[in-house]
Structures are given as C-alpha cells and as structure tokens.
Structure 1
Amino acid sequence: MVSGGTGPGRAPGGAGKEPPRPGSVRPTSRRLLIAIAVLGVAIGVTLVKAIQSSGGVVPTVSWLTLVAWTFLATLLFGAARNTHQRIQVRRELVEPYRAVFLLMIGKASAFVGALCTGVYAGFALSFLNAVSSSGPRTRVITAGIAAVISVLVVTAGLLLERACRIPDDPEDTP
C-alpha cells in the first residue's frame, strides 16, 4: 500500500532504489506534520487572543475531551498492532479496500492529531504567563495534557500507516 521512496529520481541512501510504483502512496512527511503543528500553535494563540479581545471567556479543555482523545489513540495503536501482525508478521493478504481504509485512517489521524497538538499547545502557551492563579493553571494543565495525547494520536496514525506497507518480497513467507 505505502511505498518507501522519497520521489522520482531521488532514492534515499544512494542509487539502486527505484522510484515508487504508480498508484502507490508515499509515507507521510514528518516535516509536513511539524508545519501543521506550528500552524496549529498560531491558530490556538490567535483564537485565545481574539476571544479575550472581544471580551469573551476562553473555554477550557474538558476532561471528557482528554478521555476521548486517549480512547482514539488506544484504538489507533490497537489497529496498528493488529495490521502489523497481519501484513508484516503473518504475511496475510488483506482486502484492498480494508488496507486503503486503514491507510487513510492512519494518514488522517496523523494530520488531525498534528493540528490539534498545535492548537492545544497554543492554548497552553497563551496562559503560561498567568499560571500562578487557579483558572489559567487548569487551562495550561488540561491543554498541555491534550497536546501530549494528540502527539500519541499522531504516533499511532503513523504506525498504522507504516503497518499498511506491503512487505518488500511478498513471495518470501516465513
């Protein structure tokens, strides 16, 4: 499902590697995920400033949100492990539609998790200067925890994407 190449004519590690086959999907770029997270930080900080400047009260990240993100990360890690066992270890054939579905879930989770990591980090950074009082401290703690859990969602999404790779030589069965 996922090709390991970095682009046509640019093989990693020198010559000898061929470019990805047509119809293959490239692995998600770590640089792109970092850029999305940085964009998320800007969105988070801007959102807090816009709400405060209009006289509104910035919402806090609820504990239920943290539970939901943790549940999502757990499901993604489970799917990544199961998919890795089926495709990489036992070399089972997986229905193409299921493999594509899992691959897209992994990619989407990595992108959304990166954006949310940035937004939550932006929220936390916005209240760091007032952390001595109770309200901002709670906002920093919950937003910080949400950012960490969002990183786990990114990690699980990337692992699921990696698990969908077709083994190099599918004819070699252990």
Structure 2
Amino acid sequence: MVSGGTGPNRAPGAGKEPPRPGSVRPTSRRLLVAIVVLGAAIGWTLVKAIESGGGVAPTVSWLTLVAWSFLAALLFVAARNTHQRIQVRRERVEASRAVFLLLIGKASAFVGALCSGVYAGFALSFLGAVSSSGPRNRVITAGAAAVISVLVVTAGLMLERACRIPDDPDETP
C-alpha cells in the first residue's frame, strides 16, 4: 500500500524520506517522463532502422486504439471504485487485493509511459512525409495511440493513488 499524503504531521517535502516498512513510494513523475523520452527514442530509431534496411515500418492498427481505450476505461473504473471503497467509505480491503491493485496501477503507468513514447516516436518519424496519405495515416494512428497511452498512465496513477491508506488509520473501521 502507498502511504498517505501530507497531513498535519507531515511536511510537503516529506516524500524524500524512506518509506515506512510495508509501504511503497508513489510513482515518480520524473521517471515516467524519462520513460516516455526513452520510448520515443526507441520508436523513432526502430522506424529509421527498418526503413534504412529496406523494410517497411509497421503501422499502428485501429484495433490497437480500441484495446488501449478499453484498458484505460477499465483502469479508470477500478481507480474510481477503489477510491470510493478505501478513501470515501473507509472500508477495509484484503491486503492481497490492495497489493494487486497497486501493482496493476504502477505497471500500467510504466507500460503506458513506454508505449506512449514509442507511439510518439513512430508518429514523429513519419512527420516529414505527412503530405502523402500513407504516412499521414501512420501519424494519425500512432499519435492517437500515444494520447490513449497517456490516458492509461493517468488511470494507472489514479489507481495507485486510490490504494493509499488514509492518513489516520484509527478512523478505519
């Protein structure tokens, strides 16, 4: 479980101290940005390497967009339900279930960030030839996939945040 946020006894910069035993630090936004940049470099390099070898770079299908959208929707629903259960109604959740939801949230944020970067790299690599229909379609689908991947990152972070234990554990039933 992720430890609670800032409270009366916690300074805003208290995130630098080591986590309590049994707790997990929130996902670093800087790390996610670094993963997106790394993914963009991988995506751009992959397209250029394939094309320089005489091959045709793969396209992002519309089915990919549907699958990513479905995943984002599931994560948003899970985040909302978990938030309502833990933060609002202050219900107890089995430890194994809470850890599972936390891991799903963190993994979704990391994978979504990497894929968002790769899709953005794909889109950027075709921007030079956007005047013809083939590259234009690749830019549109890869750009849409990058945006939807950012939604997966956002939903994953929301799920991670929803798994935080309320600041005052004595108020929990």
Instruction: Return the TM-score normalized by structure 1.
Output: 0.91
Q: Distance in 2 between matches of 1:141 and 1:98?
A: 38
Q: Which runs of 5+ in 2 are unaligned?
A: none
Give the superposition deviation at 1:112.
Answer: 0.1
Mapped pair 1:51 → 2:39: no
Instruction: Return the TM-score normalized by structure 2.
Output: 0.92
Q: Distance in 2 between matches of 1:126 and 1:48?
A: 7
Q: Do the aligned residues in 2 keep the contact of 1:83 with 1:163 (CA within 8 Å)?
A: yes
Q: Which runs of 4+ in 1 moved over 2 A?
A: 11-15, 17-20, 170-174
Give the superposition deviation at 1:59.
Answer: 1.2
- Alpha-carbon distance change, 14 to 44 in structure 1, aligned in 2, over 3 angstroms: closer
Mapped pair 1:2 → 2:2: yes
Q: Do the aligned residues in 1 keep the contact of 2:4 with 2:166 (CA within 8 Å)?
A: no
Q: Distance in 2 between matches of 1:118 and 1:19?
A: 30
Higher RCO (CA 8 Å, separation ≥ 6 residues) = 2
Letter of the 2:149 counterpart: S
Aligned to 2:144: 145
Give the superposition deviation at 1:170.
Answer: 2.6
Task: Determine helix, strand or coil for the equivalent of 1:168.
Answer: coil
Aligned to 1:8: none
Equivalences, count: 169
Q: Which runs of 5+ in 1 are unaligned?
A: 6-10
Give the superposition deviation at 1:69.
Answer: 0.1
Task: Determine helix, strand or coil for the equivalent of 2:170.
Answer: coil
